[in-house]
Amino acid sequence: MTSVTRRQLLVGATALIFATAAAGCSTPSTTGGDSAGGSEITFLTFETPNLTPAYWDAAIKRVTDKYPDVKVRKLVSPTADGRTDYAKQLLQSGQFPDVMVGLSPAGFAESGNLYAWSEGELQDFTFPTANPIRGKYYQLPANTQTIPPIYYNTKVFADRGITAPPKDWAGLLEVCEKLKAAGVTPFVTGGGKDAFASSMLLTGIVSVDVYGKTPDWLSKRRAGTVKFSDPDFTAALAKFADLAQRGYIQKSDVSRDYAATEQAFLDGKGAMYPMGNWFAASADAKQRNDIGVFNFPSADGRTVVPAYTGGGMVVSAKAKNLDAAKRFALAFQLDKAQLDSSVKADGLIPAVKGYTPPADAGPVFKAGYELYQQAVADKAVVHGFRWESADDGLLPGMAAKVDAVAQDLTTGRKTPAAAAAYLDAEWAKAGS
């Protein structure tokens, strides 16, 4: 999964876009037909410290071994969280990929550029009706991600006399103050070209405080019955800004990209790390035994777990080889080896009927998985703010505005009231 200041690529000559794509693409070793046989498809991926070129190549090969008539040309987004913007550039230049993974379908679907999956094609997924766009389903609901739990260094906590993770917001502030007094930075956050890392704490606060009371808040925002400048949302912005004002978040962190942010936490440059559950894969791959995880705390200690189900593949409605694209996408998302690999490589929780994680899944993943399963049982799961898509998600382009607001609140460039007004103004532009 994973998500980067939404880096804007210049919409210039087609040749420039193609050169960028070619520079970021590789063709995995596959068997199968050639383009003359009508079976070649293009597949847009992205890379992170977890999702390496080898990960994607192995996954592609498993599918093409099953369907040897399908030949795949892999494209790679220049930035991990900029893949939606990059897909827009490719669409505008007439090079829209046949299959894409992990991008927001909003905008693409409404304009008729994505294939709408049938009920029968979605029957193997746990939540087949996730993320509807005008009553149709364009993105395979392949996995669930909790966004964000809070990971913490158990040794740092123990060395400062903190015997257990906090249960509520007041407890979290007490932990932060104790850590700061001991010369330890409470939270590791990020930004730079991966701006989503700067808004993780804001995602947690809005999800727990706002969505915890009004689960369909963003649907109401789309309907125009609530605004970002309303008291509940502005209070969430103020709560986030307060963390920065207290020094629990470092202003300089907003210039650090995702990979460096993760490494900073692993190197002990802060005690807590609010991040999507994909981080568990990194922790387990490094065999860390000093990392714990707890749910994002609410004001009253009530369990509210932000999560997002979706993130799977979308297929171009205008793919030259549509049948091959559809077969590739479904086979990729339902392959047991691929699902197990996604657990280990990216900490994903597959939303496929009958699936159980591999027995050798790591301890950090298992701890987060158990927290999520308990939240499901308790009916305590809400959408993760900023990460939603489709009819109950942010308007196209607004995720980048949320990231910008998080950075401005961290550095003090905006007050909570100014940030709320900015979001309302940008929302109006996005909807016009």
The chain-wide mean pLDDT, for the chain, equals: 90
> Is 311 a residue whose pLDDT tops 90?
no
In a domain, 9, yes or no: no
Residue 32: its pLDDT value, please? 41
Task: Please tell me whether residues 234 and 340 are part of one structural domain.
Answer: no
Which position has the token pair 């996995």?
143
Contact assessment for residue 381 and residue 307, using Cβ atoms and an 8 Å cutoff: yes
Domain residue limits at 70: 14-145+309-362
| Higher per-residue confidence, 125 vs 26 | 125
Which pLDDT tens digit goes with each residue over 216-228?
999 999 999 999 9
Residue 31: its pLDDT value, please? 34
Task: Please tell me whether residues 22 and 136 are part of one structural domain.
Answer: yes
Instruction: Identify whether 350 is preceded by a cis peptide bond (ω within 30 of 0).
Output: no
Calculate mean pLDDT across residues 207-220.
96
Task: Please tell me whether residues 351 and 423 are part of one structural domain.
Answer: no
Residue 315: its pLDDT value, please? 98
Q: Name which of 58-67, 100-109, 116-125 the model is least confident about.
A: 100-109
User: How many domains does one find in the chain?
Assistant: 2
Task: Please tell me whether residues 347 and 417 are part of one structural domain.
Answer: no
- Strands (DSSP E) contained in 147-229 are 150-153
In a domain, 4, yes or no: no
In a domain, 367, yes or no: no
> Is 185 a residue whose pLDDT tops 70?
yes
In a domain, 155, yes or no: yes
Calculate mean pLDDT across residues 20-38.
40
**Model confidence band, residue 80 (pLDDT cutoffs 50, 70, 90):** confident
**C-alpha to C-alpha distances, 306 to 31, 245, 371, nearest whole angstrom:** 41, 25, 11
In a domain, 344, yes or no: yes
**C-alpha to C-alpha distances, 318 to 11, 116, 332, nearest whole angstrom:** 22, 12, 20
**Model confidence band, residue 392 (pLDDT cutoffs 50, 70, 90):** confident
Residue 414 corresponds to which amino acid?
K
Query: According to DSSP H, which parts of 135-189 are helical?
Result: 154-159, 169-181
Which pLDDT tens digit goes with each residue over 320-345?
999 999 999 999 999 999 999 999 98
Task: Please tell me whether residues 290 and 426 are part of one structural domain.
Answer: yes
Task: Please tell me whether residues 233 and 322 are part of one structural domain.
Answer: no
> Is 30 a residue whose pLDDT tops 50?
no
Give percent above pLDDT 90 in the chain: 82
In a domain, 207, yes or no: yes
Contact assessment for residue 140 and residue 330, using Cβ atoms and an 8 Å cutoff: yes
b/e map 339-370, b = 16+ CB within 10 Å: bbbbbbbbbbbbbbeebebeeebbbbbebbbe
Residue 321: its pLDDT value, please? 97
> Is 193 a residue whose pLDDT tops 50?
yes
Calculate mean pLDDT across residues 351-375.
96
Task: Please tell me whether residues 156 and 253 are part of one structural domain.
Answer: yes
Query: According to DSSP H, which parts of 378-415 are helical?
Result: 398-411
Edge-first strand listing for the sheet containing 349-350: 349-350, 143-146, 305-310, 381-383
> Is 29 a residue whose pLDDT tops 60?
no
Give the whole-angstrom CA distance, residue 310 versus residue 385: 14
Helix axes 336-346, 53-66, angle to 10 degrees: 170
Residue 1: its pLDDT value, please? 41
Calculate mean pLDDT across residues 273-301.
97
**Whole-prediction pTM value?**
0.81
Task: Please tell me whether residues 282 and 426 are part of one structural domain.
Answer: yes
What is the domain-level CATH number for residue 24?
A: 3.40.190.10
In a domain, 78, yes or no: yes
The residues with which 162 forms a beta bridge, in sequence order, are none
Give percent above pLDDT 70 in the chain: 91
**C-alpha to C-alpha distances, 138 to 130, 314, 320, nearest whole angstrom:** 10, 6, 18
Q: Which helix (H) or strand (E) holds 20?
A: helix 14-23
> Is 306 a residue whose pLDDT tops 70?
yes
Closest CA to 105 of 426, 415, 324, 394: 394
Which of 101-110, 176-185, 385-394 holds the top average pLDDT?
Answer: 176-185
Task: Please tell me whether residues 137 and 207 are part of one structural domain.
Answer: no
- Computed from CA positions of residues 207, 212, 217, 219, in that sequence, does the dihedral angle turn out positive or negative? positive
Residue 14: its pLDDT value, please? 30
Task: Please tell me whether residues 397 and 256 are part of one structural domain.
Answer: yes
Residue 102: its pLDDT value, please? 86
Task: Please tell me whether residues 36 and 169 are part of one structural domain.
Answer: no
In a domain, 3, yes or no: no
Rg, C-alpha atoms of the chain: 21
> Is 49 a residue whose pLDDT tops 90?
no
| Higher per-residue confidence, 82 vs 99 | 99
Calculate mean pLDDT across residues 176-200.
97
> Is 252 a residue whose pLDDT tops 90?
yes
Task: Please tell me whether residues 207 and 79 are part of one structural domain.
Answer: no
Residue 290: its pLDDT value, please? 98
**Model confidence band, residue 4 (pLDDT cutoffs 50, 70, 90):** very low
Give the whole-angstrom CA distance, residue 324 versus residue 72: 10
Calculate mean pLDDT across residues 380-401.
92
Calculate mean pLDDT across residues 408-430.
98
